[in-house]
Amino acid sequence: MPWGSGNARPGERVHDGDGPGWPSRCWRARQPGRSGGAHVAERPTIGIFGAGKVGTALARLLVDAGYEVALAGSPRQTALELLVSVVAPGARVTDADRLAADSDVIVVAVPFGKAPTVPWESFDGKVVVDATNYWPPVDGHIPEIDADERTTSEIHAALNPAARVVKSLNHLGYHDMEDDPMPPGSPLRRAIAVVGDDADAREAVARIIDDLGFDPVDGGALGNGRALEPGHPAFGRELSARELARLLEAERAVAA
């Protein structure tokens, strides 16, 4: 469901502007999930694993939105500080251990096959946004993944059950995210879905998405993330909050 397409913050009761027939909503009442993890700061420090196309685009957007942002790159990347000072000024470069320790919210933006190389064991209690996609044209076919019935983010979440994993920021291209931010209430504002089993983690990520210039849509449990994966309906499509929410509901109905 849309968290709101006006000025409301996630968690507030909102009206999505479609006339009296569309009820006000309270996301918490409609999309339950476990909570009880540590409170996430209103302006969390955000750490991004992966200083590639998505990681640096998100860093630029987040710095512009006033967040403190740090990036950790691949061990193969040299002169990363110079690169980041040019492509994402205002973001810091740090190492993987410090990124995990110092960040309230962690974004995993590395190639799918490299996701197990980030230090999941350090993510206890952290909100972790899995922005990765398993995309065989890029990643090649990975037989264990092809044979696994879980969504790819459920597979990643199993790497550390104490991490509060959310799938989001994966289903729009980095250029779309950079080109299309809009203020709350803009009729053409695009939507980005948030799925995850921890309701507070979803809400924290939804606030960030709103600050980036997109309408967050609560997709409920992590297992609902299939619709956001490559080859599935939401992937790569620029949708309004209403369209994305309907699409996620339709996918859930098919899966049920």
Residues 127-146 that bind ligand NAP (CB under 6 A): 131-133, 135
Of 173, 181, 184, 223, the one binding ligand NAP (CB under 6 A) is: 173
Question: Residue 158 CB, nearest distance to ligand NAP (Å)?
Answer: 17
Of 9, 15, 114, 246, the one binding ligand NAP (CB under 6 A) is: 114
Q: Give residues with Cβ within 8 angstroms of 227, minimum separation 6.
A: 193, 219, 233, 234, 247, 248, 251
Q: How many CA atoms lie within 13 A of 188 on its CB side?
A: 4
CA distance 227 to 158: 20
Both tokens of residue 181?
Answer: 């931010």
Determine the interface stretch with ligand NAP among 44-52, 205-213, 219-227, 247-255 (rule: CB under 6 A): 44-52
Residue closer to ligand NAP (CB basis): 235 or 249: 235
Of 130, 133, 122, residue with least CA distance to 96: 122
Interface map 66-85 toward ligand NAP (x if CB under 6 A): ------xxx-xx--------
Of 27, 120, 174, 214, the one binding ligand NAP (CB under 6 A) is: 174
Determine the interface stretch with ligand NAP among 33-41, 47-55, 193-201, 217-225 (rule: CB under 6 A): 47-55
Of 82, 117, 124, 255, the one binding ligand NAP (CB under 6 A) is: 117
Indicate whether 51 belongs to the interface with ligand NAP (CB under 6 A). Answer: yes
Both tokens of residue 139?
Answer: 């990643």
Name the residues that contact ligand NAP, by CB under 6 A: 49-55, 72-74, 76-77, 109-112, 114, 117-118, 131-133, 135, 170, 173-174
